Amino acid sequence: MQRVEAPTPNFYLGQGKVEALKATLLDARATLALVDEPLTPAQGSNLEKALGVRVMDRTEVILDIFATRARSHEAKLQVELAQLEYLLPRLTRLWTHLSRIRGGIGLRGPGETQLETDRRVIRRKIGVLRKRLEDVADHRANQRQGRRLLPTAALVGYTNAGKSSLLSVLSGDELFAEDRLFATLDTATREVDVGEGYRFRLTDTVGFIRKLPHHLVASFRATLEEVREADILLHVIDGSHAGWEAQAEVVEREMRNAEFEGRNGKGSTERKPVIHVFNKADLLPDPERFLASVREHYPHSVLTSTLSRSGGVESLRNALRTSAQALRPLAHIRVPVGDGKLLAALHRDGEVMEQHQDDGVVVVTVRVEARLLGRLRHEGVGVEILG
C-alpha cells in the first residue's frame, strides 16, 4: 500500500514502491504482474522495464477474459475491435528495435519503420471492424422492427448476477450459464409467457463490472442498443452478495454514462421504467425481511431465485404481466370502414385478437401500445380499454 495524492505519471506507483515490488517479484519468482487499475501506455512500458516482467493492467485482463468467452461471430468482432483500440497506442512495448524497410508504392516512403507499418495495418483493420459492426447494428434494428408486436424488456446487471439463468427459467430454454465473470457475452432473446394471455420478449445483455474499459463499452454498442430500445429494464442484482449496493451503483452509473434513457420523440429523454430484480433469494437467511428493507429504496423490487424451492420467478412474471397490461392494454377500437390506413397500422403495430364489422365501422379488438391509444383518442377515434 502507498498513500499518494495522485498516481505518478511514470510508473503509477512511487519509485520506492517500484523497487519494493521488484524485490517481491524476485522472491516469488513471478513472471507476471497484474495491476488492478488502467495504466497509460507510458506507465505500462516503464513498469515492465523497471520490474523486468510482463505487466498487465485491469483493462488488458478484462479484454483477455472477454476474448476467451466470445463465441458468436458478433462477439468476436466486438472483442477484437476493443483489443485493437487498446493495442494501438501500446505497440512500442512489443518492439525492442525498429527495423527499417524499403519504401515503395503504398508506403509512406523510404525509411518507414515496421512500427509505423503495423500501426497503419491496425488502423485499417479497426475501420473494417467498425463497418462490420455498423452492419450488425442495422441488422438488429431491422430485427426489432419485425418484433414490435410484443413488449420488450432488457436484462441488465453486474456480471454473474444470474441474468442468463433467469432467462432460462422464464423461457424454459436451456441457455449457457456458469458461475463465473462474463460467462456469456452474446445477447439472447426469448419470448416469455407471463400469464393471462400476455407475453414479453426478454433480451439478455452483457454484464457490467467496476471500471469497465471504455473500449468495450464502445465496441458493444450494437449489442447494448437492445437496452436503449427496450420498453422496460430488469436490473438484476445478486442479493446474496455482500457488496450488492456497490454493484448496483456501478450498473446505474454505466447506464447513465451510456445514456440508456427512453426518447420521447422530441429530442429530450425520460427515464425508462426499471424493475429491480434481487436474485439468488435461496442464499438469503431471511428473504422476506430483505425484500422489505430494499423496497424502502427500490419500491418496484421483486425477489427471485432460479431454484424453485425458494419461490422461483413467479413474482417477476407477475411484475412483467402488470407492465405488459400498462404498456400494451387490450382495447376495442372503432375504425371507419373507409379508413384503411388506420386499420393497416393496427395490424402492423398491434396484436389483433378479433375484428368484425358493426353498423358501418370495423370494431377491432387489439393489444396495442398505450401511447398509440392516447393519440387515437386525441384524434377522435372511438377507443374502449378492456384491461
Q: Which of 268, 192, 195, 204 is nearest to 230 (CA)?
A: 204
Residue 175: per-residue pLDDT: 67
What lies within 8 Å, CB to CB, of 294 at 6+ separation is 239, 276, 278, 301
Residue 259: per-residue pLDDT: 58
Q: Of 117-121, 214-218, 293-297, 357-361, give the range with the top mean pLDDT.
A: 293-297
User: What is the mean pLDDT of the segment spanning 370-381?
Assistant: 82
CB-neighbour burial class of residue 17 (10 A; exposed 0-12, middle 13-18, buried 19+): middle
Give the global pTM. 0.76
Whether 314 and 223 share a structural domain: yes
Whether 122 and 237 share a structural domain: no
Rounded to whole angstroms, how far apart are CA atoms 78 and 66? 10
Whether 243 and 273 share a structural domain: yes
Quick: pLDDT tens for 253-287: 887 776 554 444 433 335 788 999 999 998 999 99
Quick: pLDDT tens for 131-179: 988 888 787 777 666 555 678 899 999 988 888 889 988 888 776 656 6
pLDDT exceeds cutoff 70 at 342: yes
pLDDT exceeds cutoff 90 at 100: no
Q: How confident is the model at residue 215 (pLDDT cuts 50, 70, 90)?
A: confident
Q: 3 in a domain, yes or no?
A: no
CB-neighbour burial class of residue 351 (10 A; exposed 0-12, middle 13-18, buried 19+): middle
Q: Cβ(381)–Cβ(335) under 8 Å?
A: yes
Q: Cβ(232)–Cβ(273) under 8 Å?
A: yes
Whether 299 and 337 share a structural domain: no
Which domain does 306 fall in, by range?
149-327
CATH number at residue 261: 3.40.50.300
**CB-based burial, 308-344: b 16+ in 10 Å, e otherwise:** eeebbbebbbebbbebbbebbbbbebbbeeeeeebbe
**H or E stretch at 269:** strand 269-270
Quick: pLDDT tens for 77-96: 888 998 998 888 887 655 54
Residue 94: per-residue pLDDT: 55
CATH number at residue 347: 3.30.70.240
The total number of structural domains in the chain stands at 4
Could you tell me the end-to-end alpha-carbon distance of the chain, in angstroms, rounded to an integer?
61
Residue type, 246: A
Q: CA torsion 187→188→192→194, rounded to 10°?
A: -30
